[in-house]
């Protein structure tokens, strides 16, 4: 709040008089302090409407270099998921265009940089890919957020809504813009995106990053363990069969004798 006489900023604890110039703020009427504006991500402020690119890259840089500070703001209150979805599409599109560019340059070496995008490959003509990219990228965001939400929903963690999980995932796509750097950009972007996602989920569900990673990978760990057990059992069975050990015990199990 500003003093109407001197124009100085007045603390919210100010009452009838300005603490800078001493002037009466209103005639016999107490001026109630205005509520401080919510601390929002730069992309979700009114500046987005006038300085879109500035707020876009400001948000991307904050997610990459200050993920803890960013996601504390992002999960502070329940905000709409629409701005985050638009941001995710924008950041993902920048990464996709960079991946397409480098895939074209390095195609003769057999390298592809679009593996991080669901159903989008180098074989699709560029005009069709640019048209279909927002749709398929939105599907990727939705199904990934649904998987994360379901896996964490049934664990003993703090409950959160699907829209909050979806918001975290959309903002965690920010590091994908690092794909503008050839070769190492895809790996660095993927690792930083995973770290940003775990950081956002850490603040949303108040759980450790390692625990969250374990919960998200639990089905794959269980599947790998099952395959390993079956493989070990098959190898041991082959070894035992090769030694003829079972043939010695066959008369004992033959009920017809």
Q: What is the DSSP string of 53-93?
A: HHHHHHHHHHHHH-HHHHHHHHTSS---SHHHHHHHHHHHH
| Sole residue written with tokens 């016999």 | 28
Same domain flag for 80 and 95? yes
In a domain, 249, yes or no: no
pLDDT at 194: 94
Task: Encode the chain (257 residues) as per-residue pLDDT tens digits.
Answer: 566 667 666 554 445 556 556 555 554 444 455 444 557 788 888 777 678 888 999 999 999 999 999 999 888 777 788 999 999 999 988 887 777 777 777 765 555 545 555 555 555 566 666 677 778 888 889 999 999 999 998 887 888 899 999 999 999 999 989 988 887 888 898 899 999 999 999 999 999 999 999 999 999 999 999 999 999 988 887 776 666 655 665 555 555 55
- The pLDDT, as a whole number, for residue 120 is 52
Clarify whether residues 28 and 59 are in a common domain.
no
DSSP state of 9: B
Give, as one character, the DSSP assignment of residue 210. Answer: H
How far apart are the two ends of the chain, measured CA to CA in Å? 100
Cut 0.75: pTM above it: no
State whether 126 and 150 are in the same domain: yes
pLDDT in tens, 179-235: 888 878 888 988 999 999 999 999 999 999 999 999 999 999 999 999 999 999 888
Total domains in the fold of the chain: 2
**150 and 198 share one domain:** yes
Could you tell me if 147 and 141 are in contact, meaning their C-beta atoms sit under 8 angstroms apart? no
How far apart CA 25 and CA 224 sit, in angstroms, is: 70
What is the pLDDT, as a whole number, of residue 42? 85
Asked if residue 169 and residue 92 are part of one domain, the reply reads yes
| Range of the structural domain that residue 25 is part of | 1-36
Q: Same domain, yes or no, for 9 and 96?
A: no
97 with 203, same domain: the answer is yes
* Same-domain check for residues 140 and 156: yes
Q: Which two tokens stand for residue 254?
A: 């033959």
Same domain, 107 and 204: yes
Same domain, 51 and 29: no
How many residues belong to the chain? 257
Is the Cα dihedral 134, 135, 140, 143 positive or negative? positive
| 32, 46: one domain | no
Task: Say yes or no: 77 and 197 in one domain.
Answer: yes
């Amino acid at each position: 709040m500003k003093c109407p006489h001197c124009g100085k900023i007045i603390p919210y604890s100010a009452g009838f008089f300005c603490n800078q110039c001493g002037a009466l703020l209103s005639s016999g009427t107490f001026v109630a302090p205005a509520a401080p504006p919510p601390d929002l991500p730069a992309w979700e402020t009114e500046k987005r409407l006038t300085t879109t690119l500035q707020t876009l890259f400001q948000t991307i840089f904050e997610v990459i270099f200050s993920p803890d500070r960013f996601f504390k703001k992002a999960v502070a209150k329940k905000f709409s998921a629409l701005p985050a979805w638009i941001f995710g599409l924008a950041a993902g599109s920048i990464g996709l265009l960079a991946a397409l560019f480098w895939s074209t340059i390095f195609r003769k070496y057999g390298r592809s940089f679009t593996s991080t995008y669901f159903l989008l490959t180098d074989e699709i003509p560029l005009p069709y890919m640019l048209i279909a990219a927002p749709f398929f990228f939105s599907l990727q965001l939705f199904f990934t957020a649904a998987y994360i939400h379901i896996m964490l929903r049934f664990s003993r963690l703090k409950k959160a809504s699907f829209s909050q999980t979806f918001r975290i995932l959309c903002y965690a796509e920010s590091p994908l813009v690092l794909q503008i750097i050839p070769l190492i950009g895809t790996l660095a972007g993927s690792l930083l995106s995973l770290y940003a996602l775990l950081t956002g989920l850490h603040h949303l569900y108040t759980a450790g990053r390692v625990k969250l990673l374990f919960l998200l990978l639990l089905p794959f760990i269980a599947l790998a363990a099952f395959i390993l057990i079956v493989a070990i059992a098959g190898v041991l069975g082959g070894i035992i069969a090769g030694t003829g050990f079972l043939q010695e015990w066959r008369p004992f199990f033959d009920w017809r004798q």
